[in-house]
Chain A
Amino acid sequence: MTLHALTKPWEPMSYGFLDASAKREIRRKMIKAIAVPGCQMPYASHEVPMARGWGTGGLQVSLTLVNPSMRVKVIDQGADDSVNAASIRRFIARVAGTPTTMDTLDADLIQSRHRIPEEVLREDQVLVLQVPNPEPLRPVQPNMSIARQMHADADYGRMWLQLYEQIVRSGRVMQGASYPSLVHGRHVMTPSPIPRWDVPKLHMAKHLTILSAGREKRIFAVPPFTRVEPLVFSDVPYKVEDHADLTCHRSGTRGFFMNEIPQDDGTSVFEVSDSAWGVKAIRRRDGEEVALGETWYKNGKMPS
């Protein structure tokens, strides 16, 4: 063998930044994550040219999956033009030569922080969610090794107790985003800090969701047609944010998750959080022909 055989032709950068061995490791872990839905699989999580906590986990998954014919959409808080979404989108396009889009319907791969788009995702689409903290048990058990044992034992008693205490103390479950949910009847998972509004979109969805925490080095998944059930008591039903009756002051669209914009006079106005949806609604209102996809929520209600 020669030194040459151990190396490869010099490239300024691998396609998609990650080298072949980093991609293979992520692929192997993605397979296990899909095979055991909702179970956190540890992975090496290589450093990428972005700060930890800024979507490096999602980015590694996206970079492993992309090819030049895959159209990529990146959103942060629902918006395509949020600075970090713009930064990630630009990076992926730069190192993988992928076309990009803001329209959910045109995207093959959607990397998102804190939101799931309002239009129903198809079975050929992949949603990659960025995850700051992959451990739903952390509020009750900050030690990762003990928490791991609790998952192994399906020991979710303290989780339930915490929810119960919130109801006793505040009259309701206070958990907003990152609502802990039972996946495939076995593993409790954080759906990432998506609002409660978005959690039902994961249940028996057609698309594949991969959740990746780069800093914490954990990857987990919700395959299509998989049960995702928020932890609730049978007599205290799961409630999403009461945005059903809010109207976007810019696009006029109604019945979707909204951003609240405080006004000088002490009131608030609302604008739809899914910016691409808002843009399409405006364009249609202005007479353009725009394809609007089917939405998960209809008239502000999620059909059960």
Chain B
Amino acid sequence: MGSIIELQDVSKLYGFGDATTLALDEITLDIDEGEFVAVMGPSGCGKSTLMNLIGLLDRPTHGTYTLSGKSAEHLRPARRAKIRRDTIGFVFQFFNLLPRLTVIENVALPLAYKGIGPRNRMKQALNMLERVGMNSREFYHPQHLSGGQAQCVAIARALVNNPKIIIADEPTGNLDSAASRLVMELLSEIHKTGSTILFVTHNPELTRYATRVVYMHDGAIVHDEQTAIGEIASTAREVMYTLPVKTEEDDLAGVSTLMKAVPHAAKPPRATAKKKTAKKAGSTKTRRRATRSKV
């Protein structure tokens, strides 16, 4: 299977002059079709920026981005909108359902932007709601749903155009563990149908759904490992049982502990931190990078 997402030395800068912040620091990342990638890292490490770049919501400052074999960094806004509509599905931490529309209208919205007639789009939206188990609540408004239900509706909306890629930025960040499991199992099922899924999480437990875990720190990828479905990633496991994971703060605490556990993250920074290791067949696709953080 070929790479569906290829990032080559992608950087993202915000602000001007003295206030410039480096959100992404020369990220190189290949994601194959059908991968289920968990992206982990402390807050502010650039996970969301990476997701937004991959989802064509944002543009890289430097570097190249190839999506489905086509260069994506110089596309016109209309073309980007079309790709977002047809090949990318977004799931957000705060669901981002439109409060004035009913559940079914929310799900049908991407179809409306595609120009599909009302009857057809309601039918497709209903099918999608059935698939996520929300078909009994099609005429509710989002504010009358629980968090888990709202996220399921948001997933239905992301899926309705049969996108190749699902990007979920902390889909469980705002949910309790039962709802988290519901949402992750849903994503897992979608993954089985062949979709490529990227999700951001703070919860090491959730890496058991992923086929690959990418750790980020200060805008760079510091560790990248393949993992078997059903197993917690080896790095994540090290902190798994030492910290109780009940609240988001625990999650965050867990992450910072996790970063210490990451094999190469704790190494002192090198003067030229741009050395790349060659990609080896059969091994992980990690481009190991030293982090600039001091321990």
Asked whether A and B interact, the reply is no
